[in-house]
Amino acid sequence: MEDVIKIEGKHKLKGTVRIGGSKNATVALIPAAILANGPVTICDVPDISDVKSLSVLLDFLGVAVDIRSSDTIVIDPQDMVNRPLTHDAVNKLRASYYFMGALLGKYGHVEILMPGGCYLGPRPIDLHLKGFEALGAEVKYEHGSYVLDAKELVGTEIFLDIASVGATINIMMAAVYAKGRTTIENAAKEPEIIDVATLLNKMGANIRGAGTNVIIIDGVEKLSGCFHEIIPDRIEAATYIVMAAAAAEDVVVENIIPHHLEALLSKLKEIGVEMEVDVDSVRVKGTSKLIGTDIKTLPYPGFATDIQQPLTALLTQAQGHSMVTETIYIERFKHCYELNKMGANINVMQASSFIEGPTPLSGTEVCATDLRCGACLVIAGLLADGVTTIHDIYHIERGYEHIIEKLQAIGANIWKETVA
């Protein structure tokens, strides 16, 4: 038996969608909270399976997790025990690697399984490990687990070969208790990094430069509990804006930070989507004619890799040629094969896809090969004639909070079903 999502296409969307807290920030903020010596309250936490997996790991470490409401959790690490993270939950999400930086920073020792998550091509964590080694840790790989040891972590200058979000956050967490000053050069600039640095500074860390390419961390001896509200999820916001561009009569996407979405919003205007951008919302109206375009994914503030898959579904309805070039995860094109099953005309070559449009899409059986592929297929299902059945929906549930209910509320004919 398997749960699937079914969508009957061609229903116009009308109403308001509220965006939740950032998934990519949340999965780093929760491990960061264990660096404190008192309770950390985090609100606007999205109700997604990745959070449940992280909660399982916290419980495994003896950290008290109190779910105060549907979107607020209190993490209390005062009775925490640093035991090997060999739990199955490590394999369920890639972000479990943030426990490396947090545990190494707090205890000087960590043992953790190779992290899991969506397969998007090679996603090495060597930058994380090089950063830990530069701080004074010894890194070993034994029996499928990483073992990191440091008698003392000492601040140093670290240059990242690639502006990696994960490595930037992980090194930042390891460095908060390090002796002296750590400088991360060529740091990633994503808003989620600023959010993690904000939490750590509220706890008593001394971090400057988050959001720029040079981050400076002066080590401290103690971190305390605090209260923190997560930033809105820019990728969820982008996904619903693209859904609205595909199928809206009149949709408002609220609780967003438009500045975080500038690359997408400018691209949507370029292809002909009618939008009104407000202080914390975007209104999207139905668009009759779209024009093809070229997209190249880049680190923030460039066009986000996580948005190219959902946007590809929309580009199947644009007139003429479109090209998507992927510079972050070069194998991130499995969604194109699923779209072609539905009638799209997409050719995939090394690190690029070529989309000819417009092509009518027809509902069929497709598979969510990863989280953002799942979002792409939901958009395709909204556009398609007939019923689309999406398999492997656990990928979608990893990162999109109540997606079925949110879409039903604005007029989509979408539901979950258990099939043999």
**94 marked among binding-site residues:** yes
**125 marked among binding-site residues:** yes
**24 marked among binding-site residues:** yes
Token couple for 65: 């997790």
Number of Cβ within a 10 Å radius of residue 78: 12
Beta bridge partners of 14: 250
Nearest Cα to Cα of residue 307 among 366, 263, 244: 263
In degrees to the nearest 10, what's the CA dihedral of 28, 31, 37, 43?
Answer: 60
**88 marked among binding-site residues:** no
The per-residue b/e assignment along 284-315, b for 16 or more CB within 10 angstroms, e otherwise, is: bebbeebebbebebebbeebbbbbbbbbbbbb
**31 marked among binding-site residues:** no
E strand segments, 209-278:
214-218, 227-229, 248-254, 274-277
Let me know: does 323 contact 334? Beta carbons within 8 Å: no
Let me know: does 414 contact 10? Beta carbons within 8 Å: no
First to last CA, the chain: 4
CA distance 384 to 165: 35
Give the β-pairing of 2-8 and 227-229: unpaired
* Helix, strand, coil share (%) of the chain residues, nearest 5: 35, 30, 35
**398 marked among binding-site residues:** no
CA distance 361 to 12: 16
Number of Cβ within a 10 Å radius of residue 81: 10
**12 marked among binding-site residues:** no
**328 marked among binding-site residues:** yes
**372 marked among binding-site residues:** no
Q: Return the SS3 of 121.
A: coil
Let me know: does 27 contact 238? Beta carbons within 8 Å: no
CA distance 206 to 217: 6
Nearest Cα to Cα of residue 336 among 362, 369, 364, 299: 369
367 belongs to the catalytic site: no
* Residue in 118, 226, 336, 367 annotated catalytic: 118
**126 marked among binding-site residues:** yes
- Strand ordering across the sheet containing 214-218: 157-159, 181-185, 214-218, 206-208
Q: Return the SS3 of 276.
A: strand
Active site residues: 118
Q: Could you tell me which residues are annotated as the binding site for phosphoenolpyruvate? A: 23-24
Q: Could you tell me which residues are annotated as the binding site? A: 23-24, 94, 123-127, 306, 328
Q: Could you tell me which residues are annotated as the binding site for UDP-N-acetyl-alpha-D-glucosamine? A: 94, 123-127, 306, 328
